[in-house]
Chains A and B, each alone.
Chain A
Amino acid sequence: MKILIIGGGMGGTILANNLARRLTNEMKSGKARITMLSASDKHMYQPGLLYLALGRITPDELYRDQASLLEAGINFHVDPVTDFMLDNNQVKTKSGKIFDYDILVIATGSRMFPEGIPGMTEGSETFYTEESAVKMLKRLQSFEGGKVVISVGVPHKCPMAPLEITFMLHDYFKDRGMSDKVQLHYTYPIGRVHSLENVAKWAAPEMDKLGITYETFFNTKEVDVENKILRSEEGFEVKYDLLINIPAHKGMEVLEKNGLGANGWIPTNRTKLNMEGRTNVFVCGDTTNIPISKAGSTAHFEADTLGENIAAMVKMGIPVREYDGKVFCFIEAGKDRATYAMFNYLTPPDPKAPTKAVHWFKMAYNKLYWVSARGLL
């Protein structure tokens, strides 16, 4: 059975390794073959970008060679897919090669899309790529004070990032002795400071305590770069001296071009994780249109489910479990304290008060990630 995984991010990598261990004997006997196609020979730990933007880590700490993360026996090619011929169980790559499959997994991730809001790219700083995070750090270092506004695009990657960058910026400026020169102002698209009600109930008083102001029901419509004004769909305006953007995201363009899903999000069964209408095509991570967080942990838990199911399909012809919507997110609440939110389709999260212990666990996880990507944690 030929298993083809498109995408070498967190979901694709964890899945490939999970399958390689479950199917060791089948791979040796030639009954199963795992191939991964990726656009890059490097693997980035994307949650590290938050720390890069604040000078807490350096770019080299974000990367490993993708091949070094994969179990022996996985066929890895840096050759992105250009055409999906799903009716023929084939894909075509940039180099012109055709790959056949029996089971296809699409885990191509997402890309930021700030250009959807006029003025946003020119007028704001962000940290969703290495380049933008380093640029933001330089801007922060030269910032001498004023109103710092956080704008949140929809949909965005990492649901906790808006809160984390806000709280971490608070401590960043405090450590630089600039608390009296900086006003942090947080905006959010819906009627509370976070989409998770229990997280909002924790975060709003935390902001009050730290003197961070906030404005809800604020969907950024445009940025007036010349006058440094943020305008919302709801008809409100906020002046800023420094604008930090949590950019809206889209799925990958190649998926849109191949007609697999509007805006690059593939319609996906929320428990079986198959592409709607296809029994041998599965979707993992940001790429799905499932209405849950676009987060690394989502990709991780989906990959765990798919690993069990695809291995069972090879061995027995049937999948064995369903994805329950599990998501786990750390929430940095400053430079040295954190909490977390864990939830699924049926159970909302109930975050506790931030502690130093959870922060240090997160810092440890930033290193342990490389074990996680290998499918061992």
Chain B
Amino acid sequence: MAERKIVDGRGSFCPGPLMELIVALKSSQIGDELEVLSTDKGSVNDIPEWLNKVGHAYISTTEAEGVWHIALRKSK
């Protein structure tokens, strides 16, 4: 499996982790896996909700030392 691309949105209130992810997806290929790092707990709901709306594959969410790691695959 190719290495996951890290989208480091830690400490970002504006534009925020989801916006950082949207930017990162624009320069990714279909099938690429990405992992968003966020210190904003809202990302735990916001990001999977947006992935579902757009049609990208949500993989998992884990938390370690106050940082949420949200993994996904670009699907379209």
Contact = CB atoms under 8 A, between A and B. Distances in A.
Contact of B27 (A217, A263, A327): A263
A155 interface: yes
Given A291-B11, A293-B14, 13 more contacts: A116-B26, A189-B22, A195-B14, A195-B19, A196-B13, A197-B42, A217-B50, A291-B8, A291-B9, A292-B13, A327-B14, A343-B13, A345-B11
B20 A219 contact: no
Instruction: Please tell me the size bucket of the interface on B.
Output: 20 to 34
A364 interface: no
Contacts of B50: 190-191, 217
A316 interface: no
A123 interface: no
Contact of B53 (A195, A234, A293): A234
B22 A154 contact: yes
Shortest 6 CB-CB contacts between residues of A and residues of B:
A345-B11, A291-B12, A195-B16, A195-B15, A234-B53, A195-B14
14 contacts: A154-B23, A190-B16, A190-B19, A190-B50, A195-B15, A195-B19, A196-B13, A199-B14, A217-B49, A291-B10, A292-B15, A293-B15, A345-B11, A348-B13
A189 B14 CA distance: 13
Contact of B49 (A155, A191, A235, A327): A191
Contacts of B22: 154, 189-190, 219
A262 interface: yes
Interface in B13-38: 13-20, 22-23, 26-27
A325 B11 contact: yes
Interface of B: 8-20, 22-23, 26-27, 42, 46, 49-50, 53-54
A199 B20 CA distance: 18
A348 B41 CA distance: 13
A116 B8 CA distance: 23
Contacts of B14: 159, 195-196, 199, 292-293, 327, 341, 343
Nearest to A329: B14
Interface of A: 116, 154-155, 159, 189-191, 195-197, 199, 217, 219, 233-235, 262-263, 270, 291-293, 325, 327, 341, 343, 345-346, 348-349
Contacts of A292: 11-15
Contacts of B46: 190-191
Given A191-B46, A191-B50, A234-B53, A262 B15 contact: no
Nearest to A116: B26
Contacts of B11: 270, 291-292, 325, 345-346
A348 B9 CA distance: 14
Contacts of A325: 11
A116 B11 CA distance: 28
Nearest to B76: A233
A235 B52 CA distance: 12
A228 B51 CA distance: 27
A345 B14 CA distance: 10
A195 B13 contact: yes
A138 B42 CA distance: 42
Contacts of B9: 291
Contacts of A191: 18, 46, 49-50
Nearest to B53: A234
Contacts of A219: 22, 54
Contact of B15 (A159, A197, A263): A159
Contacts of B20: 291
B51 to A, nearest CB: 11
A199 B26 CA distance: 26
Contact of B13 (A155, A190, A217, A349): A349
Contacts of B16: 190, 195-196, 291
A349 B12 CA distance: 12
